[in-house]
Amino acid sequence: MKIFERKIRPFRVKRQQAALGQLVLILTCVCIWSCVEEVEWPLQSGDNGQLVVEGILTNQQKIQEVRLSQSFDNLDSPVVPVENALVRISSGSETFTFRKSILEPGLYLSNQSFSADKDRIYTLSIFWKDEIYEATGKLSFVAPLDRISFDRSEGPDSLTIRQVAPVYHPLEQAMYEIFIEWPGTLLTSHARLFYYTFSTIDGNEIFRPATEEVYFPRGSRLIINKYGLDAEFADYLRTLVMETQWQGGLFDEASSSLESNISNGALGYFSVCAVISDTLIAR
Amino acid sequence: MQRSIIVYLLLLITGLDLPAQDPVTDPLITIVTEEINVRDLMEEISRQSGYNFSYDARLVDENQVVLFRVERMPLTRVLEALESKINLTWTIIGRQIILNAPRLTGITAEKEAATLVVRGYVTDAMTGETLPGATVSVAGTSKGVVTNGFGYYTINLPSGHYVLVFSYIGYQELTRSIHLQQDILIDVALDIGTIELPDVIVARPASQILEERDVETMILNPTVLQNLPEFGGESGLIKGLQTLPGIKTHSDGSAFFYTRGGEKDQNLIIIDDAPIFNPAHLFGFYSMVIPEFTKEIKVYKSDIPVHLGDRLSSIVSIRTKDGNLNQWQFSGAINPLVNRFSLELPVVRGNSSIFTSFRRSNFEWLYRQNNPNADLFFGDFNFKWNYRLGDQDRLYFTLISGRDALLNQIDSSGISWGNLASTIRWNHVFGKRLFSNTTLYTGSYRYRLGFADNAWESAIGTLSLKTDFSHYISASLQAAFGFEIAGFGFNPGTISTKNNLIDLPNIGKGSSRKQILYYEVQADISSRLKLKGGVRFSTWQNMGPAEVFTYNSLSEVKDTQQFGEGVYQAYAYPDPRLSIKYSINRTTYLKLSAGQYHQYIQLISNSVSPFTSFEVWLPSSPNIKPQRSRQVDLSLLKYFDKPGVEFSLATYYKALDNQIDFRPHANTIINPLLEGELRFGVMDAYGLELQLKKDEGKLNGWMNYTYSRAWRKTPGLNQGKIYPAFQDRPHDFALLVNYRCTPRIFFSSYFTWYSGSTFSSPTGFYRYLNQTVPVYSDKNNDRLPSYQRLDLALQFTLNRNLENRFQHSISISFYNALRHKNIVAVDFNKVPNHPDRPVVPANFISERDLVATQADLIRFMPSLTYKFKL
C-alpha cells in the first residue's frame, strides 16, 4: 500500500496577474451589455448571534490579540462585540490569559507579550454563555517577502499596487496584509489591503469582479505583514475570498458557508502563523 | 408580464382561427340542388371555389347521381361531404383538388402476412437532398411510414392497386398510383413549397394519415430555427432548443441547457453521430451549429431509441445537409458581429455533392481601439461530402470544427477552446428489408488557459465505430439492432511549462473504452396498439496504466493504487426500454414509456456561471459510479381537424442516482485529487408539459407551458436534507409566433417567461479581518427573479421576383425587446461607487456598509443581417 504523497517542487509563476488583467479587460468587452446595480434583496432569517472568533497568533513577540463578535442578520447591521467571554491560549504547560481591551469592545489582549514557537500546538479556549469553544493551531512556515511593484497614474494620489506576490504557488501559501499611511499623516493608516498566494487556482480568482482601486501618493509608507499559511487556514482564507473579494466575477461557484476550526458551532478561525513584516516608502 | 401573456394568447387563439375564415384559402360553397350527377357537382364546386379537379377517369363514375345540399360551407367541408358520397379521397395541391383511390377498408393482419415491399428514398427535387422524417402513406388507409434519418423508407403491402402519398413539411405533397404485383423501388423527389424565401412551413402531412413520429420526440425544423429572432446575427441551436417544452437554458449568454430537470452535462449533442462536447461560442453567446448546415434536428427527452444513449436527459441528434446534387448554390449572411457563408456543389451531378460552410466573428471593431493587443474571435468550418454508389449504397463524410480564442497577442496568454468532430458514414441496403448505417466518427474538445510561461489544458476525445441496422420484417414488425465500439481519452487538466525547473502537480490522463450492443423491436399489435421494446447493453472499461486514489468516508485519500496496462476496472449494465402507443382514435394518441439510462462521462464544474469555463470531463471510475436515470413518461398527442394544429401533453417522473455535486468551494482546477472533491447523491425530477402547436399556414408557431421540479439529496451537503437543484424552475411558458405578412415580409416573435433559478442567499453575516462574510443555511434556499424576454424579428425579401435564382433579404431582430432585466446573479459583497456601478471593496480599513447587487447581461440587443442565396 502506498500512501499518497503530493509531488511538488519549486515553481514560480511570473506576472500572471498582469496577463490576466488584460484578459479581464477583454472580457469586459465581451460583456458590454452586462449591468451590475444595487438592489433591495430581502434575506431569510437565520440562526444569528453565533460566536465569531478572529484570532491569529503569530511568532512575533507582542501582545497577542483575539477578536470576538457575533454573527448578525443584515449587511448593514452593526457588529455586536462579545464582551463577557473568558479567553486563553495554552500550549503544553503554558497558559496565556487574555483581558478585554478598554479601547475596543470585543478585542481581547494577552496579559503578557509572547510569541508562538515552532512545533508546538496552541489551543484557544473561550468560555462564553456557559459554553466552551476551542480550536488548535500549529505555527506555519513563511517565506521571504517578494518585491512589491506599483503602477503610476495621473493625479495627486498617483500610485497603486500592481503586484505583491504570485497568485499561485504550489509550495507556499501566504496572506499579505498591507497598511498604507499617507505621507505627513504618520500613525494613521488610510488603507488596509489583503493579497493572497494559494496553491490552488479557481475560476473566480482568475476572472474577478470589478474591484475598487486604492490610489495613494508617492512617499506613502507601506507596512507589510506576510502571514505564512498552513493548508487548513489557507483553505479557509481561499473560501473567504471566494465569498467576498472574488464573488461576482464571470465564473462564480456555488456559495456556501466557510468551514471553521472552532468547536461547538462557532464561526471564524483560529490560526498560528509565522509572520514577517517590512516597511517601505512607495516611490 | 401577465398583460403580455394575455395579448399573446389572444393573438395566437385568434390567429389559429384566421384561416378558417379566409375565403381565399377555404372558399364558401353553396349547392342547393337535390339530385346532381358527379360531373356537374364537381364543375359547380370548381366554379364557386376556383379550384379544379384532377383524377383518374377510371376511378370516378361521373354519371353517378348523388343527393347534395350545402349552404355557405367551406370547401374542405364540402369535399369531405363529397368523399362520403363517392368514396374517393381527395388532396389539395395548389389550386388542384386531386381525387385519390377509394379507401381500402381494414387491411387486416391476414392480408399483411403475404406482403410485397415498396421502398426507396424521398428527396428534395431541387437539391437532391434526402428528406428524413418524410411521410409515406397509403391513401384511404391508416397505413403510413416515416423515412429514416437518411430519407429511406420501406412499406409492406399486399398486392393490389394503391395510391401512395409522399409528404414532408415545407414541400408539396406528391401522389403516386401503383399497381403492386412485385417488390418495387420508388424514389421520389418532392418540390419545395410555393413560398420559398424566407423559408416558411407551408404544408404538413395530410391529416388522415397515421402519425408515425414518436409523441415525445421533438423535431426542431431548421427552417424554424433560421427564422427565429437573432442575437447578434445568429439564431442559434441552443436558443432554438429553448423554445421546446421541457428544455431550459441556463440564462442569457449561455450554451448550457437542462432537460426535464437533468443536469447540464446529461445532454448529448451529436452531429451526424459525432459528439459535440461544448456547443458554445464566445462563452455561450453563440452556438456552434450553423443552421444552414442542418437538415434535421431531433430532440429525444424520453424513450430514447436504443441506438442512442449514454446520457441521462436528452439526445439532440442533428443531421447535416448533404449538399445540392443538381446545381451549385452559394449563400451567406453578413452581420456587424458575425459572417457566414455556405457553398453547395455537385461533384457528380445527381450522385455526389459537397456542402461546406464557414463562419467567423468580426467584432474586432468593438474592442481593438481600447485593447490593441487583444485577439478575440470564434469561427467554424463545416464540410460534408456524399457519394451515391448506387441504389443500395451511399457514402458520407462530415467534418465539423469550431474554435474560440481570447488571447493576448503579445505573449499568447489567454483562453481558447475548440471542438472537432468528423464522421464517415456508409448506408447500405441489404436486400429489400434491411437497411444499415455504419459510422466511424470522432469527436474531441480541448480547452486551454495560457500564461506567458505555462498553460493549463484539459481535453476529451473519442473515436467510435458503430453499425445500426433497421430490419423491416413485415408491415407490422420492425427491428433495430447494432453495436458500437468506442475509445475515449481524458485529460482532466494538466499544466505545461517552458520552465524546466518547474515541477507541477501530476494530473493523470486516462483512457477508457465503451462497447454497446442493442436490439429493439417495434410491433403493431393491432391497428390501435403499438409496442416497442428493447435493450441497450453497455460496458465501460477503464484502461491502464493508471494511478488511482481511494478515499475514506471523509473524502480523504487513504490509499494509492497503481495499475498496469489493460483493463483495470469495468462497468456493465443492460438498459431496458419499453413503450406502448395507443391510438384512441385517428387523431389522438397516447403513449406510455419507461426506460433506464446510464451515463459514463461527466462534466466536472461547480460553477454557477452561465459561461462555459474550465471544462473538465471525467469518466466513470472506481470513485465515480456511472450516473443512472430511470424515467417513466406518459404522453398524449391530439391532432385537430384544422390541418397542422396539434396539442400535446406529457408528464414524466425521473429518478436519478449517482448524481454529482461538489464539496463546498470545491477545487476543480489543477487538482490531482479531483475525485475527492465530488459528492454523490440522488435526484428526483417530475413535470407536466403542455404544447399547442400550429405549424401550417401564414400564421404558425407554438405555445408551451411546463411545470417541473427537480430535487436533490446528497449526503454531506445541506445537512443531508433535500434541496432544489439549480435548474428547479417550476413554471416555464413560451410562445413562438411566426406570421408571413406578404410573400416578401415575414415576422417572427418569441416570448418566454419562467421561474428564476435557485441560489443560496445568506441568512446572516459576520466580520473577519474587516471583511463581511456571509453565512448560509439551506442550500439553494432562494430564487432569482423570474426571467422574461420578448424577441422580435422581421425579414424582408429584397427581390421583387421570388423566382429569381439570386435571392437576398434583410433581417432585423431585437433580442429582449422589452428591455427586461433578467438577473443572472445576486451578490452581497459590494459597496456603492457612484456614479459607476458598485464594486468590491479593496480597502478594509474604512467602515462602509455593503449592499446587495444584482447583475443582468443583455437588456436589449438589436441585430441587422443581410442574407443572400444564389
**Residue B691, pLDDT score:** 94
Nearest-10 crossing angle of helices B75-86, B38-49: 170
Interior/surface letters B637-674, b for 16+ CB within 10 angstroms, e for the rest: bbbeebbbbbbbbbbbbbebbbbbbbbbbbbbbbbbbb
- Distance (Å) from the alpha carbon of A191 to chain B's nearest alpha carbon: 5
A10 contact B CB<8A: yes
- A25: Cβ–Cβ under 8 A, 6 or more apart, which residues? B370, B371, B374
What percent of the residues of chain A are helix, what percent strand, and what percent coil, each to the nearest 5? 10, 40, 50
Residue B385 has pLDDT above 90, yes or no: yes
**Residue B439, pLDDT score:** 95
**Residue B201, pLDDT score:** 40
A154 contact B CB<8A: no
Mutating which of A35, A54, A65 best tests the B interface, going by the most B Cβ atoms within 10 A? A35
- B108: Cβ–Cβ under 8 A, 6 or more apart, which residues? none
Residues A200, A171 contacting (CB under 8 angstroms)? no
Residue B118 has pLDDT above 80, yes or no: yes
Residue B114 has pLDDT above 70, yes or no: no
Cα–Cα distance measured from residue A224 to residue A221, given in angstroms and rounded to the nearest whole number: 10
pLDDT: which is higher, B468 or B63: B468
Residue B521 has pLDDT above 90, yes or no: yes
Size of interface A-B (CB pairs under 8 A): 312
Cα–Cα distance measured from residue B515 to residue B647, given in angstroms and rounded to the nearest whole number: 39
CB count, 10 Å around CB of A78? 10
Q: pLDDT tens digits for B456-467?
A: 888 999 999 999
Q: Which SS3 state, helix, strand or coil, does residue B70 take?
A: strand
* Chain A partners within 8 Å of B603 (Cβ): none
* Chain A partners within 8 Å of B854 (Cβ): 36-37, 39, 41
CB count, 10 Å around CB of B720? 10
Q: pLDDT tens digits for B325-355?
A: 888 999 999 999 899 999 999 998 878 999 9
Compute the mean pLDDT over every residue in chain A, rounded to the nearest whole number: 86
Q: pLDDT tens digits for B731-743?
A: 999 999 999 999 8
Torsion angle (degrees, nearest 10) of CA B834, B840, B843, B848:
60
Quickly state the pLDDT bin for B670 (edges 50, 70, 90). confident
The verdict on a CB contact (< 8 Å) between A26 and B614 is: no
- Distance (Å) from the alpha carbon of B823 to chain A's nearest alpha carbon: 9
Residue B200 has pLDDT above 50, yes or no: no
Residue B575 has pLDDT above 60, yes or no: yes
Residue of A nearest to B673 (CA): A6
**Residue B104, pLDDT score:** 45
Which of A172-181, A267-276, B104-113, B414-423 has the lowest average pLDDT? B104-113
Residue B209 has pLDDT above 60, yes or no: no
Residue B272 has pLDDT above 80, yes or no: yes
The verdict on a CB contact (< 8 Å) between B367 and A26 is: yes
Residue of A nearest to B504 (CA): A8
Q: pLDDT tens digits for A160-194?
A: 888 888 888 888 899 999 999 888 765 566 889 99
**Residue B101, pLDDT score:** 65
**Residue B753, pLDDT score:** 96
**Residue B499, pLDDT score:** 66
Residue A16 has pLDDT above 50, yes or no: no
Mutating which of B840, B844, B847 best tests the A interface, going by the most A Cβ atoms within 10 A? B840
Which range of A38-52, B314-328, B354-368 scores highest in mean pLDDT? It is A38-52
Residue B233 has pLDDT above 80, yes or no: no
The verdict on a CB contact (< 8 Å) between A75 and B851 is: yes
DSSP-derived letter for residue A16 is H
Which of A199-203, B535-539, B675-679 has the lowest average pLDDT? A199-203
**Residue A197, pLDDT score:** 94
Quickly state the pLDDT bin for B194 (edges 50, 70, 90). low
The verdict on a CB contact (< 8 Å) between A77 and B765 is: yes
Cα–Cα distance measured from residue B451 to residue B415, given in angstroms and rounded to the nearest whole number: 9
Cα–Cα distance measured from residue B558 to residue B579, given in angstroms and rounded to the nearest whole number: 46
Q: pLDDT tens digits for A235-276?
A: 999 999 999 999 988 788 899 999 999 999 999 999 999 999
Q: Closest Cα partner for A124 from A134, A114, A132, A115?
A: A134
A23 contact B CB<8A: yes
**Residue A59, pLDDT score:** 95
Residue B111 has pLDDT above 50, yes or no: no
**Residue B58, pLDDT score:** 67
DSSP secondary structure string for all residues of B572-586: EEEEEEEEEEEEEET
pLDDT: which is higher, B485 or B152: B485
**Residue A140, pLDDT score:** 94
**Residue A26, pLDDT score:** 52
Residue B566 has pLDDT above 70, yes or no: yes
Cα–Cα distance measured from residue B178 to residue B190, given in angstroms and rounded to the nearest whole number: 17
- Distance (Å) from the alpha carbon of B824 to chain A's nearest alpha carbon: 10
Quickly state the pLDDT bin for B668 (edges 50, 70, 90). confident
Q: What is the mean pLDDT of residues B777-781?
A: 94
- Distance (Å) from the alpha carbon of A94 to chain B's nearest alpha carbon: 27
What are the angstrom distances between the C-alpha of B379 and each of B82, B318, B770? Answer: 58, 19, 46
**Residue A8, pLDDT score:** 32
- Distance (Å) from the alpha carbon of B812 to chain A's nearest alpha carbon: 19
Joined grid coordinates for residue A67: 477578536
A21 contact B CB<8A: no
What is the 3-class SS of B148-160, one letter each residue? CCCCEEEEEECCE
Quickly state the pLDDT bin for B106 (edges 50, 70, 90). very low
A115 contact B CB<8A: no
Residues A54, B491 contacting (CB under 8 angstroms)? no
B369 CB burial (10 A radius; 0-12, 13-18, 19+)? exposed
The verdict on a CB contact (< 8 Å) between A31 and B857 is: yes
**Residue B4, pLDDT score:** 46
Residue of B nearest to A248 (CA): B827
The verdict on a CB contact (< 8 Å) between B609 and A203 is: yes
Q: What is the mean pLDDT of residues B139-164?
A: 81
Mutating which of B821, B827, B839 best tests the A interface, going by the most A Cβ atoms within 10 A? B827
Q: Tell me which residue has cell 474550465.
A: B614
**Residue B290, pLDDT score:** 82
pLDDT: which is higher, B310 or B612: B310
Compute the mean pLDDT over every residue in chain B, rounded to the nearest whole number: 85
The verdict on a CB contact (< 8 Å) between B840 and A251 is: no
Percent of chain B whose predicted confidence (pLDDT) is above 90: 46
Nearest to B560 among A4, A40, A72 (CB): A4
* Chain B partners within 8 Å of A15 (Cβ): 452
Residue A40 has pLDDT above 70, yes or no: yes
Q: What is the mean pLDDT of residues B191-202?
A: 50
**Residue B26, pLDDT score:** 67
**Residue B825, pLDDT score:** 92
Q: pLDDT tens digits for A110-165?
A: 999 999 999 899 999 999 999 999 999 999 999 999 888 888 877 776 888 888 88
